[in-house]
């Protein structure tokens, strides 16, 4: 094996001597005796995704070459070696190191063995090798104490693990200091956890101080102006770990933190654009009730204000229209009034309902989810009607060309469910109130909970969540139910 490596690297170095003559661009040579593939692929990290960049074909037995006329953007790249599942090897591309050679051996995976023309990659390779040794040492400690549950053995195991962690941190600091500012140093430092000092006070005080220090220093090793960050494997997860684990989950707190992070990214165009998009998508996908306020805030702050200049007019208008639909329905807002019709064709407004609590329930007699919700809604009403709860139930059936008497199905269904007759049942057969649009009722059932002034307290929750919500609203339990759709 040693002779093979010596021979391969000698040939490798000879081939690499021609690198300096290349025109501006990138030229990356790969020596991989164990690849045994006609083609290998080049990719790169970009936030939480990976993208294909180039293909290299087998030449001269074990060698491959990636090259192009334009330099690669600096960051962490991927060698992708088929078949499926492929072997993935990470390496570094810098602005000033675009022409280099990498040696891969069977023993080196998932790292490179050696690099020619790239000190950054050599440091990164040495770091990965060290982590493999540290992981072996950790497994040896766990094996040593496997099955030993007595307190003395557990204490000894924890001491050994703490000592090993200290050794790893010391090695990381030494390696990172060898090439300050290098991408390898950036990657090493990104994994560091804040070193929390020893605080004093009672248990709760110390716990709070530990949390606050950790939160305040979470991004100490991150320079958001660094253009390499967008092409690293850690930045997306690090930012969202911060938002989802360290920030209070109220919308106002999350909006403040997102604004603060984006302010730090201004000037780093790609990173800023990426996280403006990611934050908006995250808020749009969230199942947490009330997080649409984050969506509206982001649209108002970054999209409506012209900061999202990468969008076309049609796409921007769709986003703005979505925010405009959500804005009047945010928790804490006055609910939009509706003019509806009763079974005897009398006009009734939502705001005509006088009660401490109004539950707006939009349903469809042919909706399977609605039919499952009905027994729960009926049970909920019987339990809480004496507390001033009224249900304003809108049947969403309309009169159409195919169903000219579509709303009659509403009243037929109610006749079959006499418990519903205690509710305030209404229809709008010609959709004159546009209730489906006004209340964002693309699907049924939809539930909105309002107070006596028709201020929205909760929305888009399941019927099964209503009892827990009202126990909280009525002071019957201290902790509110989980705010999930």
Is 75 a member of any domain?
yes
**Cα distance between the two ends of the chain:** 60
Reading across the β-sheet that carries 26-31, which strands appear in turn?
A: 63-68, 26-31, 99-103, 114-116
The per-residue DSSP string of 431-473 comes to: -TT-HHHHTT-SSS-EEEEE-TT-BEEEES--GGGHHHHHHHH
Q: Does 418 fall in a domain?
A: yes
Q: Which residues contact 278 (CB under 8 A, 6 or more apart)?
A: 47, 48, 236, 240
Measured between alpha carbons, how far is 315 from 469 in angstroms, rounded to an integer?
37
Our count of domains for the chain comes to 4
Q: What is the pLDDT of residue 109?
A: 75
The answer to the question of residue 209 being in a domain is no
Tell me if 201 is assigned to some domain: no
329, 354, 384 — which closes off a domain?
329
Residue 312 and residue 356 in one domain: no
Do 464 and 352 lie in one domain? The reply is: yes
| CATH number for 372 | 3.40.30.10
389 plus 463 within the same structural domain? yes
> Are 71 and 144 members of one domain?
no
Residues 313 and 351 reside in one and the same domain: no
Does residue 108 share a domain with residue 10? Answer: yes
Share in percent of the chain as helix, strand, coil (round to 5): 45, 20, 35
Q: How far apart, in Å, are the Cα atoms of 454 and each of 40, 289, 352, 419, 473?
A: 62, 18, 10, 24, 15
Q: Which of 351, 434, 347, 424 is CA-nearest to residue 392?
A: 424
Verify that 352 and 449 share a domain, yes or no: yes
400 in the same domain as 294:
no
Collapsed DSSP state (helix, strand, coil) of residue 19: helix
Domain contains 9:
yes
Phi, psi of 207 (to 5 degrees): -60, -45
Of 144, 171, 190, the domain-final residue: 190
Q: What is the mean pLDDT of each run of 10 residues along the chain (485 residues)?
A: 46 49 80 90 96 93 92 96 89 94 84 92 92 93 90 92 92 92 94 92 94 96 97 97 96 97 96 98 93 96 91 94 95 96 95 97 95 96 96 94 86 93 96 95 95 96 94 80 56
Q: Which two tokens stand for residue 136?
A: 């072996």
Q: By C-alpha distance, which of 93, 329, 52 is closest to 228?
A: 93
Q: Is residue 215 domain-resident?
A: no
Round to whole Å and give the CA distance between 45 and 54: 14
Query: What's the rounded Cα separation, in Å, for the pair 204 and 43?
Result: 47
Is 485 within a domain?
A: no
Parallel, antiparallel, or unpaired: how do β-strands 63-68 and 26-31 relate?
antiparallel
Q: The domain spanning residue 108 has which CATH number?
A: 2.60.40.1120
Residue 125 confidence (pLDDT): 92
Q: Among residues 329, 355, 371, which one ends one of the domains? A: 329
321 and 380 share one domain: no
Q: Are β-strands 446-450 and 357-363 bridged in parallel, bridged antiparallel, or unpaired?
A: antiparallel
Say yes or no: 318 and 374 in one domain: no
- 8 Å CB contact between 459 and 447: yes
Q: How many CB atoms lie within 10 A of CB 471?
A: 17
Indicate whether 384 belongs to any domain: yes
| Residue 445: count of CB within 10 angstroms of its CB | 22
Q: How far apart are CA 92 and CA 118, in angstroms?
A: 9
Residues 12 and 32 in one domain: yes
Asked if residues 238 and 82 have their Cβ atoms less than 8 Å apart, the reply is no
Beta strand pairing call for 99-103 and 114-116 = antiparallel
Asked if 238 and 305 sit in the same domain, the reply is yes
Residue 451 is predicted with a pLDDT of 97
Separation of alpha carbons 229 and 76, rounded Å: 9
Strands 99-103 and 26-31: parallel
- Three-state DSSP class for residue 145: coil
For residue 134, what are the domain limits? 128-190
- Asked whether the beta carbons of 428 and 341 are under 8 A apart, the reply is yes
């Amino acid at each position: 094996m040693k002779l093979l490596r010596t021979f391969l690297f000698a040939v490798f170095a000879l081939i690499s001597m021609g690198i300096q003559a290349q025109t501006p661009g990138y030229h990356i040579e790969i020596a991989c005796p164990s690849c045994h593939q006609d083609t290998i692929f080049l990719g790169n990290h970009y936030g939480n995704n990976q993208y294909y960049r180039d293909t290299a074909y087998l030449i001269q037995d074990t060698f491959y070459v990636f090259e192009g006329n334009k330099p690669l953007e600096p960051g962490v790249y991927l060698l992708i070696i088929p078949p499926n599942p492929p072997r993935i090897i990470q390496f570094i591309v810098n602005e000033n190191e675009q022409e280099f050679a990498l040696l891969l051996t069977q023993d080196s995976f998932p790292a490179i063995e050696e690099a020619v023309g790239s000190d950054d990659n050599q440091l990164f390779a040495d770091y990965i090798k060290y982590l493999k040794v540290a992981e072996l040492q950790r497994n040896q400690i766990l094996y040593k104490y496997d099955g030993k549950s007595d307190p003395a053995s557990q204490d000894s195991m924890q001491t050994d693990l703490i000592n090993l962690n200290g050794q790893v941190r010391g090695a990381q600091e030494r390696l990172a200091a060898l090439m300050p500012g290098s991408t390898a140093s950036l990657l090493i430092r990104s994994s560091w956890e804040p070193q929390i000092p020893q605080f004093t006070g009672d248990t709760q005080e110390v716990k709070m101080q530990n949390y606050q220090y950790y939160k305040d220093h979470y991004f100490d090793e991150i320079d958001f102006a660094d253009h390499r960050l967008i092409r690293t494997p850690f930045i997306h997860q690090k930012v969202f770990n911060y938002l989802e684990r360290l920030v209070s989950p109220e919308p106002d707190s999350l909006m403040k933190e997102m604004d603060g992070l984006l302010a730090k990214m201004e000037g780093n165009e790609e990173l800023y654009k990426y996280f403006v998009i990611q934050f908006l998508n995250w808020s749009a996908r969230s199942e947490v009730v009330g997080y649409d306020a984050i969506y509206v805030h982001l649209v108002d702050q970054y999209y409506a204000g012209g900061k999202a200049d990468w969008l076309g007019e049609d796409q921007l208008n769709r986003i703005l229209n979505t925010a405009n639909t959500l804005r009047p329905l945010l928790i804490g807002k006055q609910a939009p009034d509706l003019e509806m019709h009763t079974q005897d064709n009398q006009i009734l407004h939502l705001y005509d309902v006088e009660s401490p609590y109004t539950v707006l329930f939009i349903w469809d007699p042919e909706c399977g989810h609605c039919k499952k919700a009905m027994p729960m809604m009926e049970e909920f009403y019987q339990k809480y009607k004496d507390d001033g709860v009224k249900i304003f139930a809108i049947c969403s059936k309309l009169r159409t060309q195919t169903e000219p008497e579509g709303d009659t199905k509403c009243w037929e269904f109610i006749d079959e469910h006499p418990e519903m007759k205690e509710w305030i049942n209404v229809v709008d057969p010609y959709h004159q109130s546009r209730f489906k649009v006004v209340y964002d009722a693309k699907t049924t059932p939809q539930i909105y909970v309002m107070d006596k002034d028709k201020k929205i307290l909760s929305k888009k929750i399941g019927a099964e969540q209503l009892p827990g919500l009202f126990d909280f609203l009525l002071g019957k339990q201290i902790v509110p139910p989980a705010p999930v759709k």
